[in-house]
Chain A
Amino acid sequence: MRTMEWKGRTVAWDAFGEGPPLVLLHGTPWSSALWRPIAEALAARFTVHLWDMPGYGASSKRAEHPVGLDVQGELFAHLLGVWGLDSPHVVAHDIGGAVALRARLLHGARYASLALVDVVALRPWGSDFFRLVQQHAEVFEQLPPAVHRGAIEAYIRGASHRGLRDDDLAMLVEPWLGEEGQRAFYRQIAQADEAHTAVLEPRLAEIDEPVRIVWGERDGWIPADRAERLRAAIPGSTVALIPDAGHLIQLDAPAALAAELSGWLERHRQGYCY
């Protein structure tokens, strides 16, 4: 991946393919690696942009840099400017949804279309695990590495409905291993703040771009009933539920998700309508 600097942070990003611009946003505790197979499929018809939020994946994870949704939203709006994208198609997963919505509603970003996939947007979110970590972050940061690895593997497995393959699990766990990774994992949970989405909720009706809400029917982290609540909050938005898919929908239903996004994006390509 390529890198750029922003307020002391190193942001890993990539762009490839041909066609109208498309940006994919990852969630937590994931990185752009989770999107890459679908990004590569879509790259035949779109110029696909991937990035890792600071504190995640291949981006810098330094203790002095806050990694909250407020920071990520501001950075995303900045990235669009650096990339020269006035109105890209945007596909966002998990907290990437909150980041895309913050950039849109608070930092002036505009999109050609917006697909929200199993997103964090409506309260309540987080989990008992989040609250436990928030109360004892410094304890978790000091767990023995083997215990940390076991905990994070169990945590990540819970996001999949179909069950994870060993190589996929390894891909997801890898950024959080080592001293820096372990600290970063608990730090990003400790800094998760519902106030950063609370400000969005009353303003969702301002969104006038085409919005598709995609949800894994078996999402055990953010239940699929949020899809309908979000649809009611965003005018003109529509919902697609993907069967047999959990929160890790990219791994539970890669082909169905690719087909859904492909069909959605094809309907909203510039100069293309039917």
Chain B
Amino acid sequence: MTPTQNVAPSSTRFLQVDGGRIVYDVQGAGPLVLLVPGMAELRSSYRLLAPALVEAGYTVATTDLRGHGESDTGFAGYGDPETAGDIVALLEALGRPATVVGNSLAAGAAVIAAADRPELVEGLVLVGPFVRNPPMPFGMKSLFHAMTAPLWVAAVWKAYMPSLYAGAKPADFAEYRDAVIANLRRPGYGKAFSQTARLTDHAPAEARLAEVTAPALVVMGDRDPDFTNPAAEAAWIGETLGAEIVVVPDAGHYPHAQQPAITTDAVLAFLRSVHPDA
């Protein structure tokens, strides 16, 4: 376990779960929305979406994945079910149900959380979502394994990030990328990221899709490089979950940061349908 060295803003809290602490921030008032970033990302991935949701009348909680940001490292596992457990633990600590926004692997985790605890997850927003394993060509797995070795994973990720942010980039992209890479270079965090990346498996999420009853929204960047055909993957998830789909133009894996106005308005319209009286 690596205690955080950072000075936390006053709203920052830590939740003790099995194996370490998960960091989270809470701001605003109104129905609860929990924002969970994707692999390697920090909770500031939502720096453009979160204030707009607060302004529109929602309580917004953001968190760092286990092994990321201000959350601890040294956990026994970093898979979708473990992250789903963290989401459920956060909602229990917050004491009320929420709409869970999950990006990338956190979308798979959010699906598991929604299936496990339907009374805690009243809406699901899946952004650039991995809710099943993408087909991986022969040899890719070992290549990926080599690229994500703890020793050079920060350098590899620094080179790779602009491709994941294909399309429009946030104005502060360089600064944000520096923060992400600096985090990966901290003791223990490169290793935790490596474990997250190498053991990533979304079969547990796919197995639970049919159990999801919460209304859902799929947000997919039309240039998301993680999918051979992003619109087709969004359509498949939409059909499987009975979810509405928004394909965001000129955005890659992070539409909430790359096209914040479009993504915010889509999420707000969805939230109003989850909370008609808000």
Contact = CB atoms under 8 A, between A and B. Distances in A.
Contact of B261 (A37, A45, A253): A45
Output the residue of B245, B259, B269, B272 with the most chain A CB within 10 A: B269
B55 interface: yes
Contact of B246 (A37, A41, A42, A259): A259
A255 B261 contact: no
B271 to A, nearest CB: 9
Nearest to A258: B269
B124 interface: no
B264 A44 contact: yes
Chain A residues touching B, majority SS? helix
B56 A259 contact: no
A110 B38 CA distance: 45
Contact of B272 (A41, A44, A244, A253): A41
B56 A255 contact: no
A38 B269 contact: yes
A37 B219 CA distance: 18
A128 interface: no
Contacts, number: 71
Given A41-B272, A263-B249, A255 B244 contact: yes
Given A44-B55, A167-B276, A254-B269, A266 B262 contact: yes
Secondary structure class of chain B's binding surface, majority of residues: helix
A166 B182 CA distance: 51
Interface in A241-255: 243-244, 251, 253-255
A44 B217 CA distance: 21
A41 B262 contact: no
20 contacts: A37-B269, A40-B268, A41-B56, A41-B265, A41-B268, A244-B238, A244-B244, A253-B244, A254-B270, A255-B217, A255-B246, A256-B244, A259-B262, A259-B263, A259-B266, A262-B262, A262-B264, A262-B265, A263-B259, A263-B262
Interface of B: 52, 55-56, 217, 219, 235, 238, 244-246, 248-249, 259, 261-270, 272-273, 276
Given A256-B246, A259-B266, 9 more contacts: A37-B273, A40-B56, A41-B268, A243-B235, A251-B273, A254-B269, A255-B217, A262-B265, A263-B261
